[in-house]
Structure 1
Amino acid sequence: MTPIRTTLAGAAALGAMAATPALAEVSESCRSVSLAEVGWTDIQATTGVATTVLDALGYSTDVNVTSVPITFVGLEQGDIDVFLGLWMPSMAGMVTERLENGSVEQIRANLQGAKYTLVVPQYAADAGVTDMADLDAHKDKFGGKIYGIESGNDGNLLIQDMIDADAFGLGDWDLVESSEAGMLLQAAGAFESGEWIAFLGWAPHPMNTKMDLVYLTGGDDYFGPNQGGATVYTLTRAGLSEDCPNLGSFLNNLEFSVEMENILMAAILDHGESAGSAATKFLKANPGLLDAWLDGVTTVEGEPGLPAVKAELGVE
C-alpha cells in the first residue's frame, strides 16, 4: 500500500504544479478594460500608451471618448474602468466626495510637474500682465474674454467661478467655450496678429513650445499653487484593483513624464498620428520604460508580461 500512497501523492503534486499557470490567469471578467478619453491630447497620448501595452498583454481594450462629468458618472456606475486624467487640484470639486464615499478609487500619481491655469502671450506679460489681478486693467485689449475648452471641463468651471465671484474684477468678463483645438486655433491667430488673448493653458502640451506663453500668478485659490502647479492621477471604478489584481498592478506601476507626453502629443498634433501609433513608436524607441511598468505583471494567460509585450512590439 505504501507505494500506492507515494504514487498518488506524487500525482497530486504534479497535478498541483500543472494547475499553477491556470491559477495565474486573468479571469474572463477582467480581460476587458474600458478607458475614458476626454478629448484632451495629453489623455489621448497616455491612454494610447496604456492600451498599447494592455493589448500586447492580451487584454481587450475599449476607449470611450466622453466628457469629464460623464467620465465620473461612468466610473461610479462601473461602465468605465480607468481614467488616466484626474488633474489635481483643479478637479477636486468634482472628485473629493466621490473619493471619500468610495464610489471611485485613486490609484497613484501618474504625472508630476504639470501646470494648469490661465496664460497670456509673452508680449502681454511684458506690458504688465503677469498676475490674474492685472487682467481687468487691460480688459479692452483682451476684449473682455477668456477662452476655455469644452463645456463642463473643470478648467472652464474654475474660470466661470472667478467670473461669478467677480474675482480680480472679472465679473463682467465672458468665458468662451469651444474645444482644445478650437481654443488653440484662436490663440494661434491672436499670436500671429499680435493681439492680446487670455486662455486656459497647461503643460505638458506642445503649445508651450509653439507659443511664447506666460502662466499667470495669483490664481492659487482656483487653480492651485505655483502658477497652477498640478499632479495627474489614475482613477478607477471602485474595487478594480481588488477584483483584477494584475490590471491593478499595471496601473499602480504606470507613470509618465512631461518630456514623454510632450513627444507623444507633438506626434498626434503636428504629424497627425493616432494615439496608438504614436505610443507604439515611442515604446519601440524607449523599451526600458516597460521594465518598471510590467514588474509583477503577467499576460492574461498568466505568462510573464515583459517579454510578451517586448515580443509584440518587436524590441529586445
Structure 2
Amino acid sequence: MKKILYLFFAAILIVLSACGSSDSGSASEQGIDTITFADAGWDSIKVHNSIAQTIIEEGYGYQTDVTSGSTAATFQGLRDGDINVYMEVWTDNIKEIYGEAMDTGDIEKLSTNFDDNTQGLYVPTYVIEGDPERGIEPLAPDLKTVEDLKKYPEVFEDPEDPGRGRIINAPSGWAVAEAIDAKFEAYGLEETMNNFMPGSDAAIVADLTDAYEAGRGWVGYYWSPTAVTAKYDLTLLEEPAYDEETWNETKTTEFPPNDVVVAVHKDMPEQASEVVEFLKNYETSSELTEEALSYMDENNASAEEAANWWMKEHEDIWTSWVSEDIANKVKDAMQ
C-alpha cells in the first residue's frame, strides 16, 4: 500500500513539474532576444535608432538590429512583427495606413518623438532676397508661393531640358512623393516645370549643395529637422493654410501637422515590457535632433557617433527616460 501511495504522489510531482516547465517555456517564447528597428532612409531616424539602441543594449541587455527599406516596406514590417520598433513614424505622411494599423491593433503608439517639424518645397533664401556678402542679386524677388514657381523656369532651369525649370521631388518610395505629384498637377506647374524624382535623400542634398555653393537657383522638397535645414538658409514656399478636405482632394495646402511618433509592434509590451516603458518616455524636438544632425555633417560622423555625442551633451534629457540604475549602466558603458 505504501508503495502504491509513493508511486501516486511521485506521479503527481512529475505532472506538476511538467506543468511548471511548460509555463516557463511559454513565458520564454513570449520574450524576445533581439529588438529590430526600422531604418526608412533618412539621417534623423538613424540617430534616434542609435540613441535607443545604446540604451536598450547597455541598460537592458538586449541585442538590437536594424532593417532598412522604404517607408512602405518598413512600416509593413512593423505591422507584421518583422520589425519591433519604429522611432520616427511621420503619421500624416502615411495617414491612411497608420490609422488602419492603429485601428486593427497591429501597432501601438508609445510617445511623440517630436511635433515641431516642417516640410514642403524650399528655395535658398538668396533666391528671393539675394546675398550681398556673396555678391548674389535676388533671382526671383517676387517668389512667395509654390504656385508662383511656374513663372520662373529660367531661375530653376533643368540642365537636361533647357527652357524648362526643374523641381526636385522626394525620392521614389517616400510617401510624400505622391503629395508633391498632386501639387504639381493641381498648381499647373507642369506648364513650365519638370517633376524630377531623385534616387535618394543623398542625391537631393548633393544637388542642393552644388547649387547653393554656386549661388544658383534651386527648388525642391525637404523637411526639418535635418542637417540641411540647420546648415543652409532656406525658405519654405507658402501654400494656403492646411485644410483637411482640400488636402484630401487636391493637396493644395500646406502639409498637415505631422506628429512624429515612436511606435512598436503589438507584441512588444509582452515581449519587452521594460523597454516599452522606456520608449513611452522618449521625447525630443526638431532643435535637439538637428544638433545631432549638424554634428554628423560638420564632423563627417556616423549616426552612431552622433548619437554618442548627443547623449553626452544631453545626459540630463535621456537619463530622465529611464531609472537611475539603467542610466548608470549606460553611462558606465559609454565611458
Q: Same fold judged by TM-score > 0.5?
A: yes
2:51 to 49, 63, 85: 49
| 1:238 maps to 2:266 | yes
Q: 1:139 to 1:228 in 2, by over 3 A?
A: farther
Q: 1:255 to 1:62 in 2, by over 3 A?
A: same
3-state SS, counterpart of residue 230 of structure 1? coil
Write out per-residue CA displacement over residues 10-59 of structure 1, whole angstroms, 9 at most, x where no aligned residue. Answer: xxxxxxxxxxxxx9xx9672331000112201111111111111111211
How many residue pairs get matched? Answer: 280
- Retained in 2: the 8 A contact 1:116–1:230? no
Residue matched to 1:260: 288
Could you tell me how far 1:245 is from its partner in structure 2? 1.5
Secondary structure of 1:250's match?
helix
In the aligned structure 2, how far is the partner of 1:285 from the partner of 1:100? 39
2:237 to 216, 240, 244: 216
Question: Do the aligned partners of residues 278 and 82 (structure 1) sit closer, same or farther apart at CA in structure 2, a change above 3 Å counting?
Answer: same
**Closer, same or farther in 2 for the Cα pair 1:268/1:191, shift >3 Å?**
same
- Determine if the alignment matches structure 1 residue 114 to structure 2 residue 135: no
- Which residue identity lines up with residue 120 of structure 1 in the other structure? V
CA contact (8 A) 1:145 1:176 kept: no
- Helix, strand or coil at the partner of 1:182: helix
Residues 278-297 of structure 1 mapped to structure 2, 5 A cutoff: 278-295=306-323
* Separation (CA, whole Å) in 1 of partners of 2:93 and 2:238: 15
Q: 2:177 is matched with which residue: 153, 156, 170?
A: 156
Unaligned runs of 5+ in 2: 1-23, 130-140, 158-164
Question: Which residues of 2 match residues 77-116 of structure 1 at below 5 A?
Answer: 77-116=80-119
Report the TM-score, using the length of structure 1 for normalisation.
0.80
SS at match of 2:155: helix
- Please give the alpha-carbon distance, in whole angstroms, between the structure 2 residues aligned to 1:174 and 1:274: 32
Q: How does 1:112-191 map to 2 (within 5 A)?
A: 112-126=115-129, 127-143=141-157, 144-163=165-184, 166-172=185-191, 173-191=194-212
Partners of 1:84 and 1:78 in 2: CA distance? 15
Q: Secondary structure at the match of 2:290?
A: helix
Give distance in 2, aligned partners of 1:224 and 1:274: 36
Question: Structure 1's 171 and 96: CA in aligned 2 closer, same or farther, altered over 3 A?
Answer: farther
8 Å CA contact 2:230, 2:294 repeated in 1: no
Aligned to 1:84, what secondary structure does the other structure show?
A: strand
Does residue 1:69 correspond to 2:72, yes or no?
Answer: yes
Aligned-residue offset at 1:242: 4.1
Q: Which residue of 2 aligns with 1:196?
A: 217
Match in the other structure for 2:301? 273
Identity of aligned residues (%): 25
Give the distance between the partners of 2:236 and 2:147, measured in 1 at CA: 13
Distance 1:279 1:194 in 2: 33
Distance 2:205 2:256 in 1: 19
Structure number with higher relative contact order (C-alpha < 8 Å, ≥ 6 residues apart): 1
Q: What is the deviation of 1:224? A: 6.9
Question: What is the CA-CA distance between 1:223 and the residue it aligns to?
Answer: 8.9
Q: Distance in 2 between matches of 1:53 and 1:207?
A: 27
Cα RMSD between the aligned structures? 2.4
Whether 2:85 is the aligned partner of 1:59: answer no
Cα shift at 1:241: 2.2
2:33 counterpart residue number: 31
Q: Deviations over 1:99-136 (max 9, x none)?
A: 22222222221112111111112133341222112111
Which position in structure 2 is the counterpart of 1:20?
none
After the TM superposition, which parts of structure 1 deviate over 6 Å for at least 4 consecutive aligned residues?
A: none
User: Using a 3 Å threshold, how does the CA distance of structure 1 residues 192 and 291 change in structure 2: closer, same or farther?
Assistant: closer
Amino acid at match of 2:176: G
| Structure 1 residue corresponding to 2:332, chosen from 278, 293, 311 | 311
